[in-house]
């Protein structure tokens, strides 16, 4: 009988835990030699499209590092690809989506996705990984948020500033709202299908939230993330909303999306994020700067302890504030994980209980 | 006798003005056909190094658009170049600094700059522009902040995330502090020399402030910006500190640097920036999203009026929240400037006076 580690799911629901669960965004990634060995045999998209390979790398950080949750290996751009765009991922250049979508006419050429058809590979990988995990740790599904998908689809590729996508927002709001609405529905359906396929939590990544100012974020990003998140939450599975670069909006994200957990980037003050989590009754996930893992393990330990002392409390899930970088030594990732797993949350829980009593 | 427009300098000192002064970061830039005509004859660095050409393009937005301040045409990387690094700027690629500085040994090969020697071209351009302006509008000098210069010098080029520079902060803090300290002194001396050469205000650009989390910003960026800003402020000339991506730190920037004006990026809520300015008794400059200038002029007008209603008040200087983009139509820049120049600040001033009375 394997050990059942449900710390992550308990934290998602703000239930008491003896110590915070920990996982790392992009934990199935190039910093692991075992990942690079798989990657040497198959390109990135082949790995995404082959459930056996996706399952293999999804399990690696669970087996090798003992993280408390697995996240399915896939990519946020599988949705635009399933809608009919030509997705390519070249090493060192990043993803590209052929023929950017910049008008209603071009948008009409896209088709809506039936997840068990166009995204079956991703759902199969979830089912296969769930069986392989056999309850050891929970399995997270995910999707890109509408604004971030929109940004890639309009630009055709990643950029520093997403000026072309922002130009669409400012100069053609009608087209923008129509495409965002359509994306929200496709993202929502995909998340629902992931829950049905065995995902025990769902994270929505609005990776380019930080490219928008407050007005545009509230007009073009948050409402559509909320629409997808609500469809996902209706399945009963906990939903994590992560909008890096929009830490100022954490409270609005909690309110608008109804999510269970607020993903928090490394830019955001950890104490402040804890305050928003308590004020809104949500969990909070994050937020060590991935670059902190360049430090010596003793320094990583100190930085992690500082973070824990600032952010631990009800519903806390330890993580980095962005994906782990490909050139981080595995021993450094281990120093982060082991520091969290050696932390005792009793003090943070006692503090929360005392605060509750005082109310 | 030419008209003397000192709105900008009065706003820097929070003195009453009938309407906000307005200028645009990177206003001497590629969106102007007249700039592109000069640029067709000389490359970017030749323009920086030739006071006649720098003066010519510095004056263009004053003559063509009627902005209320001129900012000298130059580049933040002239300091690392003057310290001995090989600076190249290739169209479409951005600046590069040959042989990145990544150790104390490499740092020792750099030399400190005597501004009237290594940066004479920049000071000559200030003197020449000041004469040419003949008091029409004030002239702003500028320099890059130590952290931003450090980031370029360690990376050797611009990047999305400045991971190599951040790796230095986390893994070699001693080297980092030594180089930042040295840069702060060189930046400070350069700003002092610019005031002596005729700059009537000085802006410090910490363009990559946003690549640091709160702890690293407070440890490696803010103290060194403050060191340079204090040297500059001792000349008596108003100092503007601009740290895009670190809007959360506006209050700390006011306190640590003693600056007169808080530069504010488009990411930052305009009402919140106004609140910090009033709480700290500083001016505030910004912050329309440069992408807003992609909108139709009527929409630009609305967005500008919204910004003005949120941020105008004592010490306000209208600007974009980042540099103007090269593909903005001149008529759109004009819509922004004319909207500000048609705005009456009496209501904002009355509001401030009433708030003052209530205290």
Domains: count for chain A: 1
Please indicate, yes or no, if residue B231 is contained in any of the structural domains: yes
Please indicate, yes or no, if residue A67 is contained in any of the structural domains: yes
Q: Do A295 and B170 touch (CB under 8 A)?
A: yes
Please indicate, yes or no, if residue B2 is contained in any of the structural domains: no
Q: What is the pLDDT of residues B231-276, one digit of tens each?
A: 999 999 999 999 999 999 999 999 999 999 999 999 999 999 999 9
Residue B358 has pLDDT above 80, yes or no: no
pLDDT confidence band for A260 (50 / 70 / 90): very high
Mean pLDDT of B312-339: 98
Average pLDDT, chain B: 96
Q: What is the pLDDT of residues B139-173, one digit of tens each?
A: 999 999 999 999 999 999 988 889 999 999 999 99
pLDDT at position A346 = 87
pLDDT at position B90 = 84
pLDDT at position A352 = 78
- Bridge pairing between strands B94-97 and B87-90: antiparallel
3-state SS, chain B, equals CCCCCCHHHHHHCCCCCCCCCECCCCCCCCCCHHHHHHHHHCCHHHHHHCHHHHHHHHHHHHHHHCCCCEECCCCCCHHHHHCCCCEEEECCCEEEECCCCCCHHHHHCCCCCCHHHHCHHHHHHHHHHHHHHCCCCCEEEEEECHHHHHHHHHHCECCCCCHHHHHHHHHCHHHHHHHHHHHHHHHHHHHHHHHHCCCCEEEEECCCHHHCCHHHHHHHHHHHHHHHHHHHHCCCCCEEEECCCCHHHHHHHHHHHCCCEEECCCCCCHHHHHHHHHHHCCEEEEEECHHHHHCCHHHHHHHHHHHHHHHCCCCEEEEECCCCCCCCCHHHHHHHHHHHHCCCCHHHHHHHHHHHHHC
From chain B, the residues in CB contact with A216 under 8 A are 289
Q: What is the pLDDT of residues A76-115, one digit of tens each?
A: 999 999 999 999 998 778 899 999 999 999 999 999 999 9
pLDDT at position B313 = 97
From chain B, the residues in CB contact with A296 under 8 A are 171
pLDDT at position A357 = 74
Q: What is the pLDDT of residues A159-182, one digit of tens each?
A: 888 999 999 999 999 999 999 999
For residue A217, indicate whether it is catalytic.
no
pLDDT at position A349 = 79
Residue A1 has pLDDT above 70, yes or no: no
pLDDT at position A93 = 81
Q: Do B267 and A216 touch (CB under 8 A)?
A: no
Neighbours of B185 (CB within 10 A): 16
Mean pLDDT of A183-205: 98
Residue A127 has pLDDT above 70, yes or no: yes
Please indicate, yes or no, if residue A2 is contained in any of the structural domains: no
B346: alpha, beta or left? (left if phi > 0; alpha if psi -120 to 50): alpha
Please indicate, yes or no, if residue B1 is contained in any of the structural domains: no
For residue A31, indicate whether it is catalytic.
no
Please indicate, yes or no, if residue A1 is contained in any of the structural domains: no
Mean pLDDT of A200-227: 97
pLDDT confidence band for B3 (50 / 70 / 90): low
Residue A295 has pLDDT above 80, yes or no: yes
Torsion on CA atoms B91, B160, B228, B184, rounded to nearest 10 = -90
CATH number for the domain that contains residue A175: 3.20.20.210
From chain A, the residues in CB contact with B291 under 8 A are 163, 166-167, 169-170
pLDDT confidence band for A8 (50 / 70 / 90): very high
Residue B112 has pLDDT above 80, yes or no: yes
Residue A2 has pLDDT above 60, yes or no: no
ipTM summary value: 0.94
**CA dist., res. A143 & res. A78, Å (int):** 9
Q: Do A269 and B214 touch (CB under 8 A)?
A: yes
pLDDT at position A137 = 98
pLDDT at position B296 = 97
Q: What is the pLDDT of residues A129-170, one digit of tens each?
A: 999 999 999 999 999 999 999 999 999 998 888 999 999 999
Please indicate, yes or no, if residue B251 is contained in any of the structural domains: yes
Interface residue B269 vs chain A (CB under 8 A): yes
Interface residue A291 vs chain B (CB under 8 A): yes
pLDDT at position A359 = 60
Interface residue A216 vs chain B (CB under 8 A): yes
Residue B39 has pLDDT above 90, yes or no: yes
Mean pLDDT of B4-19: 96
Range of the domain at B111: 7-358
Q: Residue A91: which residues within 8 A CB-CB, separation 6 or more?
A: A44
> Could you say which residues from 303 to 322 on chain A have a Cβ atom under 8 Å away from some Cβ of chain B?
306, 321
Residue B1 has pLDDT above 90, yes or no: no
Residue B2 has pLDDT above 80, yes or no: no
Q: Do A291 and B248 touch (CB under 8 A)?
A: no
Q: Do B171 and A295 touch (CB under 8 A)?
A: yes
Please indicate, yes or no, if residue B228 is contained in any of the structural domains: yes
């Amino acid at each position: 009988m394997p050990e059942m580690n449900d710390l992550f799911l308990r934290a998602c629901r703000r239930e008491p835990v003896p110590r915070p669960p920990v996982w790392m965004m992009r934990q199935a990634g190039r910093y692991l030699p075992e990942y690079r060995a798989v990657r040497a045999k198959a390109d990135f998209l082949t790995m995404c499209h082959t459930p056996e390979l996706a399952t293999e790398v999804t399990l690696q950080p669970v087996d090798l590092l003992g993280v408390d949750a697995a996240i399915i290996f896939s990519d946020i751009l599988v949705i635009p690809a399933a809608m009919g765009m030509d997705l390519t991922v070249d090493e060192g250049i990043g993803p590209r989506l052929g023929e950017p979508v910049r008008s209603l006419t071009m948008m009409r050429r896209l088709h809506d996705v039936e997840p068990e058809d166009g995204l079956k590979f991703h759902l199969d990988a979830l089912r296969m990984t769930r069986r392989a995990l056999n309850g050891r740790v929970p399995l997270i599904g995910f999707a890109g948020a509408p604004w971030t998908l929109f940004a890639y689809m309009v630009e055709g590729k990643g950029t520093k500033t997403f000026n072309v996508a922002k130009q669409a927002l400012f100069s053609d709001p009608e087209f923008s709202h129509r495409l965002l609405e359509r994306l929200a529905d496709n993202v929502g359906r995909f998340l629902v299908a992931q829950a049905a396929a065995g995902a025990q939590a769902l994270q929505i990544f609005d990776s380019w939230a930080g490219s928008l100012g407050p007005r545009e974020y509230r007009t073009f990003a948050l409402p559509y993330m909320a629409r997808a998140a609500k469809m996902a939450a209706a399945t009963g599975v906990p939903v994590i909303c992560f909008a890096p670069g929009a830490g100022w909006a954490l409270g609005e994200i909690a309110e608008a999306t109804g999510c269970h957990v607020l993903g928090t980037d490394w830019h955001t003050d950890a104490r402040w994020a804890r305050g928003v989590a308590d004020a809104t009754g949500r969990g909070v996930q994050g937020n060590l700067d991935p670059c902190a893992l360049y430090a010596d393990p003793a320094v990583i330990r100190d930085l992690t302890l500082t973070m824990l002392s600032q952010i631990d409390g009800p519903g806390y899930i330890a993580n980095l504030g962005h994906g782990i970088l490909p050139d981080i030594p595995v021993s450094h990732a281990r120093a982060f994980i082991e520091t969290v797993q050696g932390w005792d949350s009793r003090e943070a829980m006692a503090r929360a209980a005392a605060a509750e009593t005082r109310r």
